[in-house]
Chain A
Amino acid sequence: MGIIEYIQLVFSDYTLRTITLGTAILGAVTGMLGSFAVLRKQSLLGDAISHAALPGIALAFLLTGAKDSNVLLIGALISGLIGTLWIRGITRRTHLKSDTALGLILSIFFGFGILLLTYIQKLPDANQAGLDKYLFGQAATLVESDVWLMALVTGLSLVVLLLFWKEFKILLFDKDYAQTLGFNTKFIDFLITTFIVLAIVLGLQTVGVILMSAMLLAPAAAARQWTNSLGMMVFLAAIFGASAGVFGTAISATQNNLSTGPVIVLVASVFVLVSFIFSPNRGLLFKRIRLIKNRNDLELQKTLSFMYHIVEDHDDISHPHAIRILNNFRGYSRKGLRKLVDKNYVKLEGDMWRMTPKGFAVAKNLYNQNGKND
């Protein structure tokens, strides 16, 4: 299937349009809220919450018998919040560290969820088909009302984000200061955690409990590499998340046997990888290039100053010297010498070199104007 054909299909085919729209919105909202999770050093909280939501889904089904995804999501929301609060309680009241609390809640809630799911499966009259889609997610089961719900939550969180922008920002970067200014940090904290839980719960149907945490982290981690401004980061994360959703859906729709959730996660991971390597300021590639360039510059300067010390003792600064004597000096290379010649600091004559007045002047002031030198 060609790209153009696929794009046409996205607009004409109901299922494909719903899924594409759904994953795009989901990616945007998780990326947006994930930025806060990443900056608050709560990256793994998302993992714990998404696992903790599973028993809520099963219990909601057991209690109401409804397969309506909204009812199940409310169950997921409640048990996700309970898990979060318990993690808080463990880290605050005992000496167990947050990683233990996260792993503990994650695995225990998930295990309990599995117990309930298998129990439901063996109930005689239960029409439970479709509950295990929450494990790995099934984007294909998205219907228009789900997408509307996602859009609603996204709009709501956008409004809250804009309303409380200043508060969120100050809480993120300086909690104590926020407290001294008289902000109700507990409330803001609760607000932001609730929205993170909400975003996770929304994604369960599409991506599943196991991979949901990546949807929260990956776009935000990628966005972080490109900017130092919170607003820009949230915006970029939303874009990255949405594109991961769209591209992931496209790839999985055009191939056989590829479930959407893992593909979206992989696309988002590729974004992270690309950002890690190619981002201009923090990226590994440019960091490496800068490092090499600095090292070369330094060695050039060292060579020049070595020459300067030889030349210094002579009355005539342009007195020729043998290239050979440079060989003893670490950091000297033929390439470096050629560069010095190019800059007209040094002149070569056969096996000899001599310093030009220009080179002498530069070398003399090398350490005075280190910054200005090129």
Chain B
Amino acid sequence: MTDAQIEIQLIASLVAVACAIPGTFLVLRKMAMISDAISHSILPGLVVGFFLTQDLNSPWLILFAAITGVLTVVLVEKIQQTKLVKEDTAIGLVFPALFSIGVIMIAQYANDVHLDVDAVLLGELAFAPFDRVYYGDMDLGPKSLWVIGSILVLTLILLFAFFKELKMSTFDAGLATSLGFSPIVIHYGLMSVASVTTVGAFDAVGAILVVALMIAPAASAYLLTTNLKKMIGLACFFGVFSAISGYWMANILDASIAGSIATMLGLVFLMVYLFAPSKGFFAVLYREKQQRREVSLITFLLHLKNHIEIEERHVNHLNEHINWQKVRSKTILSLAQKNNMISISNDVVSLTEKGEEFTSKAIEYILTNEDSLIEDMKEDFFLFRG
């Protein structure tokens, strides 16, 4: 690995972590699309800032663009307050308009300078190591490393200082307000951090892919844990993993690093989405199947309890009566037998003692209408689940 390669991976990883932290809170606060809006609408801010400073890496430019990002949020909220359109429509109206203004401004006035829409949108990480900071004659490393590094440090300081407040206002805004934390300050604080991060990262990964780095790791982590600290940790891990593996994929394919990182993020999310232990696609599918079987089992047992007559309890009769297919009745019957709920003699099904006990309890619970208790009962009585 050359120095430049290490530096690129370092920058990418720092961007990933810097994005994952505010991203986690955006996802939890159901404001993920706001990051999309910010990333588009900083464009006019960048252009105006560039006219004023004539330097793409000036801190003032970053500040200026970040303020535009926060202004976008304010504008969206103002439109929402008029109640003329729904919330999401407000977002969808504001950012294309601002983005269009930015595109037109660039085309009109900034055609001959190094500021084109592609660079802002897509970024070019590969060039990042060539733009370096010097102190006297000493080489201090790439400029974007410093920019994103300071943003990350700032984010971390804010995160540690206000973790409690952030956590509380995210999960229980009412409680946070009653305890005296201003939700507005926290809200705009978070928006400011998201804006600054977006602006800082546009240079490296491009404005739109910042959205991927903010949302995808947090969304993947959210499917794996319900603990906030673990979620932030996992999100950072996914971000860094995708950043580094994405870099190498781009290297092999000779394609855009940012696009490749986003693709890796997508793959990570796809894997988590499919295979997450309790919330993944297959886990949910399996659980739904299990629940369906268990409901059938309970229905079946209740049916048995209701009928003392032999002809109602004959195996063949059950097929017709409860209207189940052959295979399904077989699985339910064997499940009930495995759980010692029923006994079959001469093709006549009857409840065992345990089955009797279970059904009486079940009826009791159904009558008192406390559905949640059924789960505990299943735990107590079932040796084998559906």
Task: Mark A residues whose CB is within 8 Å of B.
Answer: 38, 41-44, 46-47, 51, 89-90, 93-97, 99-104, 106-119, 122, 135-136, 210-211, 213-214, 217-218, 221, 224-225, 257-259, 261-263, 265-266, 269, 272, 276, 282, 284
Inter-chain contacts of A224 with B (CB < 8 A): 84-85
Contact of A107 among B211, B222, B260, B280 (CB under 8 A): B211
Residues from chain A with Cβ under 8 Å of B89 in the complex: 38, 43, 217, 221
Name the B residues within 8 Å of A265 (CB-CB).
96-97, 100
Q: Is the CB of B208 within 8 A of A110?
A: yes
Interface residue B215 (Cβ < 8 Å from any Cβ of A): yes
* Residue pair A210, B212 in contact (C-beta under 8 Å): no
Give Cα distance in the complex from A262 to B96, angstroms.
8
Identity of the chain B residue whose Cβ is nearest the Cβ of A208 in the assembled complex: B103
Does A107 lie within 8 Å of B284, measured CB to CB?
Answer: no
Q: Which residues of A contact B223 (CB under 8 A)?
A: 94, 96
Chain B residues lying within 8 Å of A110, measured Cβ to Cβ, are 208-209, 212, 262
Interface of chain B, main secondary structure: helix
CA distance A47 to B281 in the complex (A): 25
**Closest beta carbon of chain B to A272's beta carbon, Å:** 6
B contacts with A, residue count (CB < 8 A)? 62
Residue of B with least CB distance to A215 = B96
The B170-223 residues at the A interface (CB cut-off 8 A) are: 208-209, 211-212, 214-216, 218-219, 222-223
Task: Find B266's partner among A90, A93, A112, A136 (CB 8 Å cutoff).
Answer: A112
Q: Which residues on B sit within 8 Å (CB–CB) of A95? A: 222, 279
Indicate if the CB atoms of A214 and B281 lie closer than 8 Å.
no
Q: Is the CB of B208 within 8 A of A107?
A: yes
Q: Which of B258-317 contact A (CB under 8 A)?
A: 258-263, 265-266, 269, 273, 279-281, 284
Contacts of B209 in A (CB 8 A): 107, 110-111, 114
Docked Cα-Cα span, A272 to B255, in Å, equals 40
Interface string of B78-116 (1 = CB under 8 A from A): 010010111011011100110111011001100100000
Complex: A284 Cα to B79 Cα, angstroms: 11
Contact between A266 and B101, CB atoms less than 8 A apart: yes
Interface centre among A42, A101, A106, A114 (most CB of B within 10 A): A114
Smallest CB gap from A216: residue in B:
B92
Q: Which residues of A contact B97 (CB under 8 A)?
A: 214, 265-266, 269
Identify A211's interface contact among B91, B99, B218, CB under 8 A.
B99
Tell me if A269 and B281 are in contact (CB < 8 A).
no
Please state if A96 and B104 are interface contacts (CB–CB under 8 Å). no
- B93/A103 in contact, CB under 8 A: no
Residues from chain B with Cβ under 8 Å of A210 in the complex: 40, 96, 99, 121, 208
- For B118, list chain A residues within 8 Å (CB): 135
Q: Given contacts A104-B216, A210-B40, A217-B92, are A114 and B262 in contact (CB under 8 A)?
A: yes
CA distance A218 to B40 in the complex (A): 17
Q: How far is the CA of A272 from the CA of B222 in the complex (A)?
A: 37
Contact status B255-A115, CB under 8 Å: yes
A113 to B40, alpha carbons, bound, how many Å?
18
Q: Give the distance in Å from the alpha carbon of A272 to the alpha carbon of B35 in the complex.
A: 23
17 interchain pairs (CB within 8 A)? A97-B30, A108-B216, A108-B269, A111-B258, A112-B266, A116-B259, A117-B259, A210-B208, A211-B96, A218-B93, A221-B89, A257-B111, A258-B104, A259-B103, A263-B104, A265-B100, A266-B100
